[in-house]
A and B are shown apart, each in its own frame.
Chain A
């Protein structure tokens, strides 16, 4: 079970650094066209910031910020964005994920519509990867045993 670090230095420094890590992750997702980065890399950095919070502040505080239910919802939401854009291209009368047809919807030229379509897909991928990384680390570090489940098992037996 993940315990709180009873050391105020590590907790304070992690609290100060976390927002800047998240802003940097958003920069990596958005700037994927012109620099190393993209959806998956930015999602990993965003997930790493939540893992830092889980390590330094323990299980209870981390579950208040991002519970297992929220992680599942976020991963589904990211997937919805990805496949939703693909289906939108299919509805407009072309192949799956053929972003050129979005130009009539967005009122831009087809080349710009392709660029915007790729950006939207990368955002969806980033959100999904963040949620999955946090969920995997949560499951591995607790071993599937959560204190509330243990209490329910004990009261259920009696």
Chain B
């Protein structure tokens, strides 16, 4: 176990932790927009940390540069797709959930 291997383990464990909390948020939040918060932000950070950890594990080579390219692309693309979905929900007339509502406000589209 060299130094590179030991350095990459915290990144991978952090990525797995954020994946776990994003999935729990996707299942348990009461409204569609709250679930988009969880999966849009949590998943992006988790992918970023995981890919940085994997590229550190590989060392300094061409393959690790390609993995960093994937990380930059995910950093640009995933918030854009989250924005596109939330815009579609607003245009369809879905309203955010407030605490005064009695039941969960899920979309019925």
Contacts and interface: CB of A to CB of B under 8 A. Distances in A.
Q: Do chains A and B touch in the complex (CB under 8 A)?
A: yes
Interface in B39-76: 73, 76
Interface residues of A, number: 7
A7 interface: yes
Interface in B50-107: 73, 76-77, 80, 83-84, 87
16 contacts: A7-B83, A7-B84, A7-B87, A9-B80, A9-B83, A10-B80, A10-B83, A10-B84, A13-B76, A13-B77, A13-B80, A16-B76, A17-B73, A17-B76, A17-B77, A20-B73
Given A7-B83, A9-B80, 4 more contacts: A10-B83, A17-B73, A17-B77, A20-B73
Interface of A: 7, 9-10, 13, 16-17, 20
In the A-B complex, the 3 residue pairs with the smallest Cβ-Cβ separation, listed nearest first, are A13-B80, A10-B84, A9-B83
Interface of B: 73, 76-77, 80, 83-84, 87
